[in-house]
Structure 1
């Protein structure tokens, strides 16, 4: 359940970040938790008295609650932003729709909606065919603020026999005499966001900080991921994640949390880098290379990702020096090959080695030097007619053959016979052939290629 709560919280937190959610003082929200929000703010709460609704016929009754900007932000982090009546009604309806009737009842009572809570119990009794809900509704309808009355005494004695933690917490709240609310906050089976929001409503500033610190210390010691609601993804949150890994060995969860939200801190915290690298190694050991590749793609798409240095170069056959046009010497701001027209696609492409001036290899199909655009228009391979390799002349006037390919001047080659050409031309050739397009070369390039072995009916991406 804690894993589900973690990802639910992360999803909600990312929504707040995307919506430019502001903390007290106008500071943008960056995955802070309720505890860090309460401790960093200069909280000075005001006491207000909220009326009970649905107690017709009795004298007006009020509940003492605390309000501050930090508490209001804490409510929103707990999905308890109920300042608007329609928001509370919508939230309770959502809980009813998912069958969480007792939670809806407790939250309604915590917000002084007695009559609404009774109606929810009645609907739940019909929906779930549970007569105990009707009995609970009858007991709730007799609520009175008289601290020495029979109703309070009876509920205090019998509430421990209730099996549902939300109903126990509800009656503990209604029968509390000292305003300590310890029986409510001590119900560990209640969702942590409900306990924290309840504490933000009814505890004074000093008691609220003490309770949140105690709760955070206990959850961190247990390695319980529910504590992320309190710590957020601060340094305390990373300590909690580390404790969770130590107890469970679940490096996948912490690595994914790091990649999606904490990637900017990876260079600063060795624990984060270790989690990510361990997870990548785990995927490799399980031969889940596709999943490993998808993970790397997500990491590299982040604006905080460090671009890996280039480690594969194309070299000249004559001087053995690199001919990659985009390679620049360290610290140089000018493209050293600008004179060869590599600055834009509209200029002439580099067709000779920039070091020894020897011509680059020719494409096996269109016979132009590498570096030339691979589109059909304007090449020797596709004028008005072209041979298809079998001696048959085919027309190439259709629009699809005149359109430039997406890969432009990319070129590739077979790792066995070393013959190659423009990737687009080779893709077209190997749609109908498996043998190398070079005359007298009998290499079965397409049969060697992995894609060709997997499926001979699909279009290959390019010969390797």
Structure 2
């Protein structure tokens, strides 16, 4: 669509050379170039369908067809499975494009292109509205060319997921636009479900990669053309590491301290300092973090620790070593630095009675 005659000729000849004679012929037919249609049908290895299409087009170009010719075309159409061949037969049989865009075997983007070229405005609006509604009702992913990756696409993806159980396609596609341009609770649920599935299947590295790339896509960025830089409208935050409470699954970081605690918690149990002499407690449910399986000190750090260390590399390294690592198999936790030292000399978990070979879980 929208090609110059030279571009059209080069494009259809390339398709025909790749063995896609019917598609290339159909594209030429849309542009009204019957000579190019015939050339495409004669390119490469021909079969009976290509010859039948050539005869049908020749009969159509000669003038008003008779009843016998129409019956022959109708009979041939029943034996054609190729969507582009069917579309060509449909056109030469009826002599207009209205019947062609009703041919559901034809890819939707072609049908929309034909409608934009040949339908009057009123018919075009009705066709687009009805086709969009049909795509949403059927969960036809091709309907994205009508809805775009906008809020209109959410009902389409919802039907698509229910029909095909393909969560990944919806999540990956919508990650480019939500929450960057719009938010919808259904998208959030799909994304978190997708993350949980990857964790359940042991795809921890893939889930982490998804999280990092999703975070990059979520930033609302614009390019400064004068300086060639990309700036973000989101505030610049220091890199942070945070914990989630294993009981209530809420984040345990400094920002949580500003949220109202649970009513049954004593104020002194709220996690609001970096010292953690009494152990870090969840600000929501009040339960302590686990102890390090090696040093028996309470685990858990506030993300605010990154602010104090600034750009000091050694301080950053010490801070990382004070972070938490845990085994996905036995769930025992320890400080990252202690875990490194322990598993340099030992194969099994440091907890007495646990024979888990934690490092082998990554192999």
Distance, in Å, in 2 between the alignment partners of 1:411 and 1:223 is 46
- For residues 65-464 of structure 1, the aligned pairs below 5 Å read 80-82=1-3, 84-124=4-44, 127=45, 129-144=46-61, 146-147=63-64, 149-150=65-66, 153-160=67-74, 161-162=76-77, 163=80, 164-176=82-94, 179=96, 181-265=97-181, 268-304=183-219, 310-311=241-242, 327=305, 371=315, 412=321, 445-448=344-347, 453-454=359-360
- Residues 155 and 171 in structure 1, CA contact (< 8 A), matched pair in contact too: no
State the TM-score, normalizing by the size of structure 2: 0.63
For the residue of structure 2 that corresponds to 1:133, the secondary structure is helix
CA RMSD of aligned residues (A): 4.1
**Cα deviation per residue 1:421-463 (whole Å; 9 max; x = unaligned)?**
9xxxx9xxx9xxxxx6xxxxxx6644359999559xxxxxxxx
Q: Deviations over 1:149-184 (max 9, x none)?
A: 54xx4442222223144233224323435x5x3321
SS in 2 for 1:123: coil
After superposition, the C-alpha distances for 1:241-286 in whole angstroms (9 at most, x for unaligned) are 11222333322221122223333256x3111111101111222222
Query: Do 2:178 and 2:218's aligned partners in 1 also have CA atoms closer than 8 Å?
Result: no
In structure 1, stretches of 5+ residues that fail to align are 1-79, 329-334, 350-369, 372-406, 431-435, 437-442, 456-464
Conserved? CA contact 1:185–1:199, under 8 Å:
yes
Distance 1:206 1:123, change over 3 A: same
Q: Does the 8 A contact of 2:73 with 2:93 survive in 1?
A: no
Pair 1:317–1:221, CA change in 2 (3 A) = closer
- Alignment size in residue pairs: 280
CA contact (8 A) 1:315 1:323 kept: yes
3-state SS in 2 of match to 1:263: coil
Between the aligned partners of 1:241 and 1:288, the Cα distance in structure 2 is 24
Q: Which has the higher contact order (CA 8 A, sep 6+)?
A: 1
Deviations 1:304-361 (A, max 9, x none): 3897965368956989999989648xxxxxx7x5xxxx6555xxx8xxxxxxxxxxxx
Deviation at 1:93, TM superposition (A): 2.9
Larger Rg: 1
> Take 1:293 and 1:209, find their aligned partners in 2: how far apart are those partners?
44
Q: CA deviation at 1:110?
A: 1.8
Task: Please state which structure has a larger fraction of its residues in helix.
Answer: 2
Q: Any unmatched runs of 5+ in structure 2?
A: 221-233, 244-252, 254-272, 281-299, 326-332, 350-356
Does the Cα contact within 8 Å between 1:446 and 1:452 map onto a contact in 2?
Answer: no
